[in-house]
Amino acid sequence: MEVEATTTTTTTKRIFLIINCIILSIGNCGGPLIMRLYFIHGGKRIWFSSWLEIGGWPILLIPLLVSYVLRRRSNPSAELFFMKPRVFWAAAVIGTLTGFDDYLYAYGVAKLPVSTSSLLIATQLAFTAAFAFLLVKQKFTAYSINAVVLLTVGAVVLGLHASGDRPQGESDKQYFVGFFMTLGAAALYGLILPLVELMYFKARQAMALTYTLVLEIQMVMCIFATAFCTVGMLINKDFQAIPREAKEYELGEAKYYLVVIWSAIIWQCFLLGAIGIIFYSSSLLSGIVITVFLPVTELLAVILFHEKFQAEKGVSLFLSLWGFISYFLGEKVKISKKKKSYMIAEFEMSTHHQQSVATP
């Protein structure tokens, strides 16, 4: 019975992990594309774009409300929130960092083609791996180290002749500022993912870590990130500029607001999927899944926006894919070793039990 319960728990965990991977893939591929769509047709507000990356957080109120109603049915005295003050303030700090990271990323997307910014964001895996090692003691194998090195080299190759795909009318200075801002966004997000995992670990020690609590943490992070970007919008006078920008938008005013609304929804999928994978697995796997969908984003950017695909991007993409394959081979080998160790241990226990029974 105990074995059956463990198997059921593992299967359920895998199902939810797959669901979160799908949610993340939607946000990871759609987010950069819809943000670039905003910029190439006349959108110019970088703080507003960064705000949209986290401004869809009210969507989280729906599952939280459902969870609370279900808890109230089984327990009339159920608390409205699970979150404790210590976790709240940790989420607030990480949320503020997320807001700054969103600004760096939005600036990069405004100045770079999606294919270039996506390849640069792939380097977040290297940063995630390094910070995961420092903060949550992530164990590494030769395969995972190889993956990190290949992704880093891929970014360097991309940077050697990066200005070759500079958007028309943009100066070298603007391009390279966007280049390094995107690289900075990758580094900061590489820190944020392990910080979230560390927060989950500390929360698990203090209380039961449920997915409802994870949603509460995500909402607090988004609220503080939104507040950070709202301050930027107020200083930059974005709120006054939005109605004017909507009227001048190349695709029309109605489609402008459609792009804005869907941008907020799609980016929320990205955030929800990322924290869900951390909850059901690890920050490193979350970083891996984010990077795995790079080729899809690359292909869609070339098809939808007719972006150039030079030799440097091809080499960088090849190195990135090589890195992904290396990581997953390492995971396969690790799982095989665990199964083998488990089978040996089970055999030894069975043999010991038989000997104990045979002994008078």
Please report, for the chain, the start and end positions of each structural domain, with discontinuous segments joined by +: 2-358
Sign of CA pseudo-dihedral 192, 194, 200, 202: negative
Choice between 359 and 242, residue whose per-residue pLDDT is larger: 242
Weakest-pLDDT range from 48-57, 192-201, 278-287, 293-302: 293-302
Q: For residues 193 and 282, what is the distance between their CA atoms, to the nearest angstrom?
A: 9
Can you tell me the mean pLDDT for 25-48? 92
- If one counts every other C-beta atom within 10 angstroms of the C-beta of residue 180, the result is 15
**Binning pLDDT at 50, 70 and 90, where does residue 161 land?**
low
> Any residues with CB less than 8 A from the CB of 82 and at least 6 apart, and which?
207, 208, 210, 212, 213, 216
Three-class SS of residue 150?
A: helix
Examine the pLDDT at 3 and tell me if it is beyond 50: no
- If one counts every other C-beta atom within 10 angstroms of the C-beta of residue 23, the result is 19
- What are the pLDDT digits (tens) for 253-310? 999 999 999 999 999 999 999 988 888 888 878 887 887 777 777 778 878 887 777 7
Examine the pLDDT at 231 and tell me if it is beyond 80: yes
Can you tell me the mean pLDDT for 56-77? 88
pTM: 0.81
Examine the pLDDT at 162 and tell me if it is beyond 60: no
pLDDT above 90: percentage of residues in the chain: 34
Q: For residues 175 and 165, what is the distance between their CA atoms, to the nearest angstrom?
A: 9
AA identity, residue 164:
G
DSSP string for 175-233: HHHHHHHHHHHHHHHHHHHHHHHHHHHHHHHHS---HHHHHHHHHHHHHHHHHHHHHHH
Contact 127, 189 (CB under 8 A): yes
- What are the pLDDT digits (tens) for 203-225? 887 777 788 888 999 999 999 99
Examine the pLDDT at 357 and tell me if it is beyond 60: no
> Any residues with CB less than 8 A from the CB of 321 and at least 6 apart, and which?
295
Examine the pLDDT at 160 and tell me if it is beyond 80: no
Phi and psi torsions of 78, nearest 5°: -60, 140
Q: Which pLDDT score, from 0 to 100, does residue 244 have?
A: 94
Q: Which pLDDT score, from 0 to 100, does residue 226 have?
A: 96
First to last CA, the chain: 30
Q: Which pLDDT score, from 0 to 100, does residue 132 have?
A: 85
Q: Which pLDDT score, from 0 to 100, does residue 225 have?
A: 96
> Any residues with CB less than 8 A from the CB of 346 and at least 6 apart, and which?
none
Using only C-alpha atoms, the chain has a radius of gyration, in whole angstroms, of: 23
Q: Which pLDDT score, from 0 to 100, does residue 341 have?
A: 65
**Binning pLDDT at 50, 70 and 90, where does residue 5 land?**
very low
**Binning pLDDT at 50, 70 and 90, where does residue 353 land?**
low
Helix, strand, coil percent content, the chain, rounded in steps of 5: 85, 0, 15
Examine the pLDDT at 163 and tell me if it is beyond 60: no
**Binning pLDDT at 50, 70 and 90, where does residue 58 land?**
very high
Q: Which pLDDT score, from 0 to 100, does residue 6 have?
A: 41
